[in-house]
Structure 1
Amino acid sequence: MNGNPTGGVVIAGERSGVGKTTVTLALLSALAQRSQRVQSFKVGPDYIDPMFHRRVTGRPCYNLDPVLTSAAYVRQCFEERCRDADFAVVEGVMGLFDGATGSSDTASTAHIAKLLNLPVVLVVDCSRLSRSVLAIVHGYRSLDPDLTLAGVVLNRVGSDRHLELLQDALGTLDLPILGVLRRQSDITIPDRHLGLVPTAELPQLQDCLDRLADLGQTCFDWARLLPHLTPSRPPSPAEASPEASPEASPEASAQNKPSHHLPTASPSPWGLFSPNQQGACDRIRRTRPRLAVAQDAAFSFYYADGLDYLAELGAELVPWSPLADATLPEAVDGLYLGGGFPEMFGAALADNQPLRQQLRQRITAGLPTYAECGGLMYLAETLVDLQGQAWPMVGVLPTTVTMESRLTLGYRQATATVASVALQAHQQVWGHEFHHSQVTVPPTPPLFQLRRFDAKNPHATEGWGSRHVHASYVHLHWQGCQVQAVQFLSACADYRATASLSAFPRA
């Protein structure tokens, strides 16, 4: 394994659905009873699991995704966020070796474990296994010699006799069993079409987390597990320097060159900017544009360090709720509509007619607006929900959005065919799609040409772009799209400077 040891473990599954989120939450809940400084991370572009982590630890959970950001940034993010932590836990994604393609472990849980030099705790679903568990664990342990398997957690164990059979089978491996979870019928977290139901919609969640904490205190072998969880030492400034990493390539990121490999965004907040962009950064910090960020049960999909980066650039982030607020916050210079579940709240969003009317007027008049996935759905004329009920939305985009059974999922290299408030034409960015909805009238011209991670040719077009609007199904991570973040906030700063002349002033 490579890199500098900082301490912590990666919780991995032998496949999806084995219970790694339950194991992770039990571990985090038990650790949170010992310390208020438990730092968690999530591999990949997931939004919902980090909500549960944050609810347990009281600290933001950070995504580790080398496709949406870079390998260098993954290391930097982990090291910086662990500086004041007593414990560090990384929850994996899918199976241990499942990545962005079927031909390598790129962007997989194994990839992240090797980047961070962290041991892996493998969660095995034992509900239909006895001696065969030996073959599974042996295979996962031996497939990649650069990966360190610290031990296993046996989940969904049915009885004492079942446990004995599993222990006997694994006894020949000299690999510790770090935890045993029996089949649980009273600890369930509901899910739906995009994964777990978010925390804001679960009024009984705290009772579930309390039971997970009790479970965590008794189901793990703490004497063996704790030494892995504790960061061993903070990295020195030289070790933490992004310039020390050969994967950091500001020039490649700044030019947005196409690649069939991982993107190479710099982890430095200022290193990849041209003099003009540096000037824009200075102006953003001087003007401090106010950015209204939609944050409620309908719109909750944001990367924690993405929001941090917008604030670091100089934006004042102003949370507001399209569900509950009749108007936008006062004196805002831009609008950020993230993803979420607007299809679950069609009636409430439609009923807030004063806000929809105000948004349509303000956006049409030039308010800089960045909308991703659920945000795009909200800006459409109509939203047809899972029950086939049609609801009027903001009406800025000339299309209807309908929910479908087909899931659109995967990393995308997106090439801008027209300019938007965040991108220049021909710029390329890496993003991620994850949605069941489709538009009935496609954009003309489209904002993006899309290419799958492991494909050579474009396969689709989508999105709306204009001088003051960016609306797309593609989720971006601002830490991997720093130039685009500056462009968007620069438009917000321009709006702030000219809003007094607008028919719709800020105040």
Structure 2
Amino acid sequence: MAAKQYAFVLAGTGSGCGKTTVTLGLLSALKKRGLRVQPCKVGPDYLDTAWHTAVCGTASRNLDSFMLPEPVLNALFCEQMQQADIAVIEGVMGLYDGYGIDPDYCSTAAMAKQLGCPVILLVDGKAVSTSIAATVMGFQRFDPTLNIAGVIVNRVNSASHFQLLKQAIERYCGVPVLGYVPRVDGVSLPERHLGLVTARESVVTQQPWQDFAATLEQTLNINRLLTLSQMAALPQGAWPALPAPDAGKGLTLAMADDEAFNFYYPDNLALLERCGVKIERFSPLRDRALPACQMVWLGGGLSGTVRPAAGRQCRDAGKPARGPSAGCRHLRGMRRSDVSRHAAGRSQRGGASYGGYYSRSQQNGGTADPLWLL
């Protein structure tokens, strides 16, 4: 008899409602129970996944339906579930927020339906009582086909306050309230203009999250959460044609990996290694020279406050390099005739800058070739 497998999507009413903090507490609590936990994040996000990984100890995976066709994404999810008892999937922004106004395009709700996972809706309980039921009911009625299996209330003042909220939601919405999250010191996540401060920049200690998990064990019905999260079957997936296993044999990729450059999808690294590419990590902040390699990958990151010499290292070594996001910004310091940068799938020449605000935006400009420094 196959072992039981569990998965749920923790969705919110919008950004800033506490999804990441509560996700981290649940990851710690489930891990403490001896479960093999696979953290995931809906959409193209490196910050939340880094925090998942730091707290859980298992590399968090992105579920990005903008980049991956449904069969491929499903196949990746099923592959990760082979090594897990439960997947905890953190949503992005609000439950129905995707690209444009189509709630079924790249939204948390669409991902939950695609994978067949129940949704646990996180709602804010601050300064509200019966009106919270109207919020939950609105999310239910917006898409009656979506399985909103339970509710967790965040920022609750007291146990008596929670009872008012619980009674209102269960009476008027007919959905179980699994518990609440009280105000807890020491587990807030530092932020900056583009979201969270990276886990690599922060000293991530386990004790505050273990203490938070112990609190959640008292205020949440985690046994009920597990019951609601049991999956009848994993989604059907199919792998695309992959390069030959030895396609990259003999090639070494120098991959920037430090506080400045650390935005990488684990699935991309796994695919390169599956094709025989050897990955050597280096730090543009600390290493004076590149490791022996045939190519360089300067990944994204939040490197605006540091000045690594990554672009100069690549130029001096005469190595081909790819530099999206932060890597692109540091390569732009070279002569314009020296570099052709690929950003968002389009070959570009010129500068780069921060937009100063948070939004979901990806551009589809076709297939990008590697970026070469001549």
TM bucket by the smaller chain? 0.7 to 0.9
- Equivalences for residues 75-474 of structure 1 within 5 A: 75-172=74-171, 173-230=173-230, 240=236, 242=238, 267-270=239-242, 281=244, 284-285=247-248, 287-330=249-292, 332-346=293-307, 349=308, 357-362=312-317, 365=318, 367-381=319-333, 401-403=352-354, 405=356, 409-415=360-366, 421-422=369-370, 468-469=372-373
**More displaced, 13-22 or 204-213?**
204-213
Query: Is the CA contact (8 Å cut-off) linking 2:74 and 2:237 kept in structure 1?
Result: no
- The separation in 1 between residues aligned to 2:59 and 2:6, in whole angstroms, is 19
Q: Which amino acid aligns with 2:324?
A: E
Query: Is the CA contact (8 Å cut-off) linking 1:82 and 1:231 kept in structure 2?
Result: no
Residue of structure 2 equivalent to 1:262: none
- The separation in 1 between residues aligned to 2:232 and 2:82, in whole angstroms, is 10
- The separation in 1 between residues aligned to 2:45 and 2:196, in whole angstroms, is 11
Taking a change above 3 Å as real, the CA distance of residues 103 and 401 of structure 1, as seen in their structure-2 partners, is closer
Query: Is the CA contact (8 Å cut-off) linking 1:39 and 1:85 kept in structure 2?
Result: yes
Taking a change above 3 Å as real, the CA distance of residues 318 and 132 of structure 1, as seen in their structure-2 partners, is same
Q: CA shift at 1:214, angstroms?
A: 2.0
Q: Which amino acid aligns with 2:93?
A: M
Write the deviation string for residues 106-165 of structure 1: whole angstroms up to 9, x where unpaired.
110100000011110000011132111111111212221221111100100112332232
- The separation in 2 between residues aligned to 1:6 and 1:86, in whole angstroms, is 5
Q: CA shift at 1:104, angstroms?
A: 3.2
Write the deviation string for residues 162-195 of structure 1: whole angstroms up to 9, x where unpaired.
2232123123133211121112343211011221
Write the deviation string for residues 304-342 of structure 1: whole angstroms up to 9, x where unpaired.
111111111221111111111111112x01111110011
Q: Which amino acid aligns with 1:175?
A: V
Write the deviation string for residues 61-110 of structure 1: whole angstroms up to 9, x where unpaired.
11111111111122112111111212221110111111111133311010
**More displaced, 289-298 or 69-78?**
69-78
SS at match of 2:291: coil
Q: CA shift at 1:359, angstroms?
A: 2.2
Q: CA shift at 1:288, angstroms?
A: 2.9
**More displaced, 371-380 or 212-221?**
212-221
SS at match of 2:89: strand
Taking a change above 3 Å as real, the CA distance of residues 406 and 30 of structure 1, as seen in their structure-2 partners, is closer
Query: Is the CA contact (8 Å cut-off) linking 1:88 and 1:231 kept in structure 2?
Result: no
SS at match of 2:218: helix
- The separation in 1 between residues aligned to 2:232 and 2:280, in whole angstroms, is 37
- The separation in 2 between residues aligned to 1:337 and 1:408, in whole angstroms, is 23
- The separation in 2 between residues aligned to 1:301 and 1:377, in whole angstroms, is 14
- The separation in 2 between residues aligned to 1:61 and 1:141, in whole angstroms, is 28
- The separation in 2 between residues aligned to 1:400 and 1:97, in whole angstroms, is 34
**Residue segments in structure 2 that go unaligned for 5+ positions in a row:** 341-348
Q: Which amino acid aligns with 1:381?
A: G
SS at match of 2:255: strand
SS at match of 1:72: helix
Taking a change above 3 Å as real, the CA distance of residues 405 and 51 of structure 1, as seen in their structure-2 partners, is closer
SS at match of 2:65: coil
Q: Which amino acid aligns with 2:365?
A: A
**More displaced, 333-342 or 186-195?**
186-195
Q: Which amino acid aligns with 1:303?
A: Y
**Residue segments in structure 1 that go unaligned for 5+ positions in a row:** 243-266, 271-277, 383-391, 423-464, 471-507
Taking a change above 3 Å as real, the CA distance of residues 133 and 357 of structure 1, as seen in their structure-2 partners, is closer
Q: Which amino acid aligns with 1:335?
A: V
- The separation in 2 between residues aligned to 1:407 and 1:66, in whole angstroms, is 20
Coordinate RMSD, CA, aligned: 2.6
Residue of structure 2 equivalent to 1:8: 7
SS at match of 2:17: coil
SS at match of 1:171: helix
Taking a change above 3 Å as real, the CA distance of residues 98 and 169 of structure 1, as seen in their structure-2 partners, is same
Query: Is the CA contact (8 Å cut-off) linking 2:29 and 2:214 kept in structure 1?
Result: yes
- The separation in 1 between residues aligned to 2:212 and 2:241, in whole angstroms, is 38
Q: Which amino acid aligns with 1:361?
A: D
TM-score by length of 2: 0.88
Computing the radius of gyration from Cα coordinates, the structure with the larger value is 1
Higher strand share: 1
Residues matched between the structures, number: 360
- The separation in 1 between residues aligned to 2:83 and 2:232, in whole angstroms, is 12
Taking a change above 3 Å as real, the CA distance of residues 6 and 107 of structure 1, as seen in their structure-2 partners, is farther
Write the deviation string for residues 283-303 of structure 1: whole angstroms up to 9, x where unpaired.
624x33100111111001111
- Equivalences for residues 467-486 of structure 1 within 5 A: 468-469=372-373
SS at match of 1:168: helix
Write the deviation string for residues 425-475 of structure 1: whole angstroms up to 9, x where unpaired.
xxxxxxxxxxxxxxxxxxxxxxxxxxxxxxxxxxxxxxxx5xx359xxxxx
- The separation in 1 between residues aligned to 2:356 and 2:191, in whole angstroms, is 16
TM-score by length of 1: 0.66
- The separation in 2 between residues aligned to 1:282 and 1:154, in whole angstroms, is 48
- The separation in 2 between residues aligned to 1:308 and 1:91, in whole angstroms, is 22
Q: CA shift at 1:375, angstroms?
A: 0.2
- The separation in 2 between residues aligned to 1:356 and 1:93, in whole angstroms, is 33
- The separation in 2 between residues aligned to 1:322 and 1:150, in whole angstroms, is 46
